[in-house]
Amino acid sequence: MSCDTPQSKAVAVDGPPSMNTNEYPHPMRNETTTGWNLIFAAWVIASMSTLGALFFGEVMKLPTCVLCWYQRIFMFPLVLILPAGLFPFDRKVVRYALPLVVVGWLIAVFHQLLVLGVIPEEVRPCTQGIPCSQTVIEWFGFLTIPLLSVIAFSTLFALLVVTHLRRQG
């Protein structure tokens, strides 16, 4: 039987899985794609958070407390920093984004504890303007703007840490 028969061509095309490149993608390509997707997801969350903060402040004209401004300071730059690591893909963007996320998360948690009344009255940082403990929006009986900030920063932290650990693993 020669190699040019239709049966041998079918075997070559439908041969063992090791010969089929679609079933076993290149491991580096898969890691890069996964890392890219994680950083892209982080950018989407940072963008949604930034647009949400701007919508609440500029469109709905909700007053912004001091702690909200500090959280914005650490969220807004992520919208520009994260895409810098996407085109071309560079995992080192985690080094630049993670410190902003950690500090923003700490401020968001402090703000949430202030709203919940866990932080004592004497420690309250907002002495002028709107009080930081005031709740201006409450959805579903529990979802406030400070809680949305904690969720956003926590999700960003998780995505960036997973991206960093996948490189090391």
CATH code of the domain in which 38 resides: 1.20.1550
With H, G, I as helix, E, B as strand and everything else as coil, classify residue 128. coil
What residues make up the domain containing 73? 34-168
In a domain, 21, yes or no: no
Q: How far is it, in rounded angstroms, from Cα 61 to Cα 59?
A: 5
- Tell me the per-residue pLDDT of 88-127, one tens digit each, with 9 for 90 and over: 888 899 999 999 999 999 999 998 998 888 887 667 677 6
Helix axes 93-116, 66-75, angle to 10 degrees: 160
At 31 the pLDDT is 64
In a domain, 27, yes or no: no
In a domain, 117, yes or no: yes
In a domain, 119, yes or no: yes
List the beta bridge partners of residue 86.
89
Upstream peptide bond of 88 is cis (omega within 30 degrees of 0): yes
Q: Is 77 within 8 Å of 100 (Cβ atoms)?
A: yes
In a domain, 8, yes or no: no
Domain count across the chain: 1
In a domain, 46, yes or no: yes
pTM: 0.76
In a domain, 60, yes or no: yes
